[in-house]
Amino acid sequence: MGCEYFENRDCEYYPCHKAERINCLFCFCPLYDRDDCGGNCREIVSGGKTVKDCSECLLPHTEGGYEYVINKLRSSEESSERSEKVETKNKRQCI
């Protein structure tokens, strides 16, 4: 495996998930703030606020997870860039 896999067995929280091998590269998932992350998260109430609980999600930590996360980030970045171009074009037309 290349740089897309990292396992930290010395971490005080290891193993944080129930899996034979855990990719720790995305210890904190970069898709956490997205409603459409693709993982099997659930919502819980903590401190009076509704938060995302990803403790049962293995998506970024198992084989293929790195590619999934990177592709998801790229697709949303491209979508954002397309949106910005449309907004800029529309602003120019309104002037």
Q: Residue 9: which pLDDT band, with cuts at 50, 70 and 90?
A: very high
pLDDT at 82: 59
Q: Can you tell me which residue has the tokens 């037309």?
A: 93
Taking the domains of the chain in order of start, what are their residue ranges? 1-95
Q: Residue 69: which pLDDT band, with cuts at 50, 70 and 90?
A: very high
Average pLDDT over residues 16-28: 86
pLDDT at 35: 86
- In this predicted structure, the answer to whether residue 93 has a pLDDT above a threshold of 80 is no
pLDDT, one tens digit per residue, over 50-59 is: 999 988 899 9
Contacts of 15 (CB under 8 A, 6+ apart): 22
42 closest CA partner among 25, 26, 55: 55
Average pLDDT of the residues of the chain: 83
Alpha-carbon span 16 to 9, nearest angstrom: 10
Alpha-carbon span 6 to 47, nearest angstrom: 33
Residue 51 forms beta bridges with which residues?
44
Alpha-carbon span 64 to 58, nearest angstrom: 11
Model confidence, pTM? 0.68
Alpha-carbon span 6 to 44, nearest angstrom: 29
- In this predicted structure, the answer to whether residue 4 has a pLDDT above a threshold of 90 is no
